[in-house]
Amino acid sequence: MSLKLSILGCDSAIPTINKHQTAQLLNVNERFFLIDCGENTQIQLRKFELSFQRIHHIFISHLHGDHYFGLIGLITSMHLLGRKKELHVYAHAALKEIINIQLSVSKIDLNFPLFFHVIPEDSEIVLFKDDSIEISNILLNHTISCSGFIFKELKYDRKIVKENVEKYNIPYDKIIDIRKGFDYIKENGDIISNNLLTTENTPAKSYAFCSDTRFFSNIISKIRGVDVLYHEATFCHDLKERAYETGHSTTKDAATIAKEANVKRLIIGHYSKRYSDLNQLLLESREVFSNTFLSQSGDLIDFNSI
């Protein structure tokens, strides 16, 4: 079981040759979830040799171009490359119209089913759930409706202690219950404690993505204790008024959220183009929350090593 996060782009607003807009790929046990899709994301996926045909779910935080202008190109390329498998897009309602009008004028009839799932603008819901992960939106505070996302692995079943399962002759059809933590009750009423039959599995991991947003304390309770928090930090703290006006956070805003929520690791991003040296952002954030790291295109974060 594993969770791995690839950073495809971590810059704000205006793309340049070496600056790429927000896009991240979360690998949950070899299933791939794309988060945001700035212009050129399909090229970034190619650059890092990440197959975009394996992406089945795309989450778009909000409808500023630096978070979604690459989506229509990615969808079109998936089609031209012969994709058959369905694709699910989770976004605010207007994106459906934006995508559909572009497919319509080009007379593209997609080879694959494309499902839109509307992210509510004023409530938080479970957007996706299966037997290994649950994904919900988080209301953020930006200049337009904006959604963060929290990815929670579901608790893993316990690990079987093989020699004891054999020793106590546990029937095969009881293993599922045993892995879920139930004791085994023999026909004569004797109880074999689950602690003899299983051990704790790897702890379930969690990831929270919060961009774009002003400092917004409502987030804290929702992301408490996550393994990794990505929180935008567009500006250094001397520009806190500029951050507020433009709906963004400073380094210290991000770090304060991380600290208050007691997350294990903070990664920051969505850097304003004014910062040629990102270390000033990093160092300032670390003054509040020491376990801060910069996100940079090409980074791969393995949650098992945190």
Contact call for residues 166 and 184 (beta carbons, < 8 A) = no
**105-109: long-range contacts (C-beta < 8 A, 24 or more apart)?**
106/76, 108/76, 108/79
Place of tokens 């600290």: 259
User: What's the closest the beta carbon of residue 66 comes to its own copies, in angstroms?
Assistant: 8
Q: Give helix 279-288 / helix 251-260 axis angle, nearest 10°.
A: 30
Number of C-beta neighbours around residue 199 at 10 A? 9
Whichever of 73 and 120 has its CB closer to its own copies, that residue is 73
Place of tokens 């605010």: 92
User: What's the closest the beta carbon of residue 69 comes to its own copies, in angstroms?
Assistant: 5
Query: How far is 207 from 265, CA to CA, in rounded Å?
Result: 10
**CB-based contacts of 203, cutoff 8 Å, min separation 6:** 156
User: What's the closest the beta carbon of residue 160 comes to its own copies, in angstroms?
Assistant: 46
Q: Which of 299, 301, 300 is nearest to 265 (CA)?
A: 301
Q: Which of 11, 66, 227, 253 is catalytic?
A: 66
Whichever of 78 and 267 has its CB closer to its own copies, that residue is 78
Whichever of 102 and 141 has its CB closer to its own copies, that residue is 102
Whichever of 98 and 154 has its CB closer to its own copies, that residue is 98
User: What's the closest the beta carbon of residue 303 comes to its own copies, in angstroms?
Assistant: 28
Whichever of 144 and 176 has its CB closer to its own copies, that residue is 144
Tell me whether residue 66 is one of the annotated catalytic residues. Answer: yes
Rg (CA), the chain: 22
- Contact residues: its own copies, CB under 8 A: 13-17, 39-40, 42-43, 46-47, 63-65, 69-70, 72-73, 76-77, 80-81, 92, 94-95, 97-98, 101-102, 105-107, 143-144
Q: Give helix 94-105 / helix 71-80 axis angle, nearest 10°.
A: 50
User: What's the closest the beta carbon of residue 52 comes to its own copies, in angstroms?
Assistant: 11
Which residues are annotated as catalytic? 66
